[in-house]
Amino acid sequence: TLSEEERNKGLITASAGNHAQGVAYAAKIYGAKAVIVMPTSTPIIKINRTKSYGAEVVLYGDVYDEACEYALKLAKEHGYTFIHPF
Counting Cβ atoms within 10 Å, is residue 29 exposed (0-12), middle (13-18) or buried (19+)? exposed
4/37 Cα distance (integer angstroms) = 22
Give alpha helix (H) positions in the chain.
4-8, 18-30, 44-52, 64-78
21/4 Cα distance (integer angstroms) = 20
Contact yes or no for 51/25 (Cβ under 8 A):
no
Confidence (pTM): 0.95
pLDDT at 25 over 90: yes
The band of 86, judged by pLDDT with boundaries at 50, 70 and 90, is confident
Can you tell me the mean pLDDT for 8-27? 97
Write the pLDDT tens digit of every residue in 40-80. Answer: 999 999 999 999 999 999 999 999 999 999 999 999 999 99
pLDDT at residue 21 in the model = 97
Say whether domain 4-82 belongs to CATH 1.20.1090.10: no
Domain ranges of the chain: 4-82
